[in-house]
Structure 1
């Protein structure tokens, strides 16, 4: 019988954003498989003893210096972009002393928490590290999605997301520090997990991470919790008319440019279908649309209630311009609701055929509109579509399947623990 693994998952938060939810779901899957897993975070929200907030507090002096540097770099930053985070943080080496007590460290979304130099220069006391990439930040000069600029392939600089024309700007300095730090890691000490084929291809092209082995392991979820609910009951709970034709859009923030809500709103404006209803979930408030009722549910943290939201919808629309492997899409499938989106990022790894949804070229509002109309015209069997969505979720995206894939990767990494480091890293 193989021994239980001692695993440390590291994420900046434990209850904010899709990455934290994905990491916690993996943690639950590892525990269910009989392993000793803990989640180490900068800021704890859950009442769960297996989630540990690091005891070391950030250095106030270092935090102030980093804040001033960021404010200077952000003077000309355009609006509409998401976070921009560098490799340096106010947390020192001792914040991560827990690594000496485990067999494997699994990094997740660690921006604003993990200081690259402090963490990756620990030397022989560092166990193998598996890094799950929830976005592009680990191999860029600071952005989390590059908006198609691809400058990270040549070292960043003159960053569009900083509004910069300076080739030696903050993005170039961050990129060079990251490369210097990770170049000094011995082989077989860092393993990368991509959530899909798109991200794997980007990682392999990255001068920062391209030399490390990459495995594809999609996110998982509790398929008993996210399951098809009775649609009539779900609509009753949410106060949605039973005759409504419900289009669902979900994002942490409805106003994030990358998530593409403006494309959905434009598509809906051209649809003349009785009882059209836009249901949204997330921060913000969409603009009203003529001939379309709607309601924003705001931020929902209760995952059981979220399953009712997905079950109440006829179609879930995700018109992102860039996305990794959105939890929302696999949550929708697991609840039996098909997905319509743009053919970008990790969406093709989720919407694999027209039995579970449809993908259209990015930015094509006409084809997005036609996809919505086709989904709402009632000419397909909802039962068949729901069953196909559910089958795919059970086969590919359950927590048990995800945990098993990670455990196999962890065991492969263990014998390869490097004994010889190249000395302390100086960025």
Structure 2
């Protein structure tokens, strides 16, 4: 069985890491996997193929900014991809992100319809069934359920100065429906619920949670707090993001920082734009970048409580990393974030700083030994990435055999 994996990037970002690990897992299972991607450096592996140029990427960005034509440029790149696929003749195509300035979805989906190749399509966000945005929850806009127009998020990713959300909605609906064989995968029950209300609900959908490498993300018995700039005498409230923003909860954290007791410290890992830092109290440690995954695991292992005050998310991987390292979690009823929580050792609270800090303090007195043991079991049962990838392989086999 030959499987073609397609995504914007490889080995970085949530979807990129999933694609890279899937490629390894499929090959280890005795099948042949190939990755086709649009952006980033060339890869030395002959089965990992970049099909788009940097010039095509820049042109696509320009067309998106000025004409709201995201997913409608990259014509030559997409034809190049099609040539590669024709040469491979895969049994299954596994498509991940369609957006990202690298693919012309009209040309590509016309090809899928003409060739009738079975498709697995993983939606990592909502872009495929809206007229513009990748997420709608923060803006509370539900026009996509009928037809998008006058987009309130046209200046959000993929940023555009012109609003063509109505036209884009119609184009996507026309392109994305009518496939010969398509199985859609979503990482959370929350996204499935909304997928089922979209024009894509003509396809079967499956929930396969994101997973992590549990051999890497596990609690360390001994950590030198000082080596990573932390104070072992204080209760550590931890937050982790790649880049902090309003939607990631930076305003909640800045307000929480003013409620901290003297024996509490807020540790925020991830790039924090300088204009946000002025809003925090002094009892905060910013770690803009960790040197390695091992250092991040050390930080998780030092913390007392993990807080994810996300205001827009599909299925946050940071939650399950924290759980695997034995941390109790506080999060908001946002997207798929509550689905990660074992409610014996975590809380979903109202999306305010006051409620968040109260929830944090209510978790201090949990039995540490039981917390670490049961959190680990929860992670092993639900979030082992190799188990989740086997679910994908099972799906490929069904499609290929049919």
Q: TM-score range by the shorter chain?
A: 0.7 to 0.9
Does 2:152 align with 1:160?
yes
1:64 Cα offset (Å): 4.0
Distance 1:52 1:305, change over 3 A: same
Counterpart for residue 4 of structure 2: 8
Correspondence 1:348 to 2:345? no
| Contact residue 6 and residue 95 of structure 2 kept, 8 A | yes
Instruction: Map 1:221-236 to 2 at 5 A.
Output: 221-233=212-224, 235-236=225-226
Q: Tell me how far 1:152 sits from its aligned partner.
A: 0.9
The match for 2:14 among 10, 15, 18 is 18
User: Structure 1 residues 322 and 231 mapped into 2: Cα distance closer, same or farther (>3 Å)?
Assistant: farther
1:175 aligns with 2:166: no
* Aligned counterpart in structure 2 of residue 399 of structure 1, from 385, 389, 398: 385
1:414 equivalent in alignment to 2:400: yes
Q: Give ranges in structure 1 of 5+ residues lacking alignment.
A: 74-84, 417-427
Q: Which moved more, 1:271-280 or 1:213-222?
A: 271-280
Aligned to 1:215: 206
Q: Deviations over 1:195-226 (max 9, x none)?
A: 1111001111002x111110000111211011
Query: What is the Cα-based RMSD across aligned positions, in Å?
Result: 2.6
CA distance in 1, matches of 2:385, 2:164: 39
Distance in 2 between the 1:231 and 1:297 partners? 23
Tell me by how many angstroms 1:284 deviates: 3.0
What is the TM-score normalised by the length of structure 2?
0.87
Bigger relative contact order, structure 1 or 2, given CA contacts below 8 A and separation 6+? 1
Shift of 1:157: 0.8
* Residues 152-173 of structure 1 deviation map (CA, whole Å, 9 limit, x = unaligned): 1121110001279xxx941111
**Alignment partner of 1:196 out of 180, 185, 188:** 188
Could you list the per-position Cα deviations for residues 143-189 of structure 1 after superposition, in whole angstroms to 9, with x for gaps in the alignment? 1111320111121110001279xxx9411111110111123323xx1
CA distance in 1, matches of 2:41, 2:324: 26
1:419: which partner in 2?
Answer: none
Q: How does 1:210-359 map to 2 (within 5 A)?
A: 210-233=201-224, 235-254=225-244, 256-285=245-274, 286-287=276-277, 289-290=280-281, 292-298=283-289, 300=290, 302-355=292-345, 357-359=346-348
Match of 1:380 among 354, 366, 384: 366
Aligned partner of 2:349 in structure 1 is 360
Q: TM-score, normalised by structure 1?
A: 0.83
How many residues of Structure 1 are paired with residues of Structure 2 in the alignment? 387
Q: Is contact 1:105–1:130 with CA below 8 Å preserved after alignment?
A: yes
Which residue in the other structure is 2:62 paired with?
Answer: 67
What SS does the corresponding residue of 1:120 show, helix, strand or coil?
helix
Alignment partners' CA distance in 2, 1:239 and 1:110:
40
Q: Secondary structure at the match of 2:247?
A: helix
Residues 119-158 of structure 1: matches in 2 within 5 Å? Answer: 119-122=108-111, 123-146=113-136, 147=138, 148-158=140-150
- d(CA) in 2 for partners of 1:65, 1:48: 26
Q: Which residue of 1 aligns with 2:79?
A: 93
From the superposition, tell whether residues 346 and 127 of structure 1 become closer, same or farther in structure 2 (CA, over 3 Å).
same
2:159 match: none
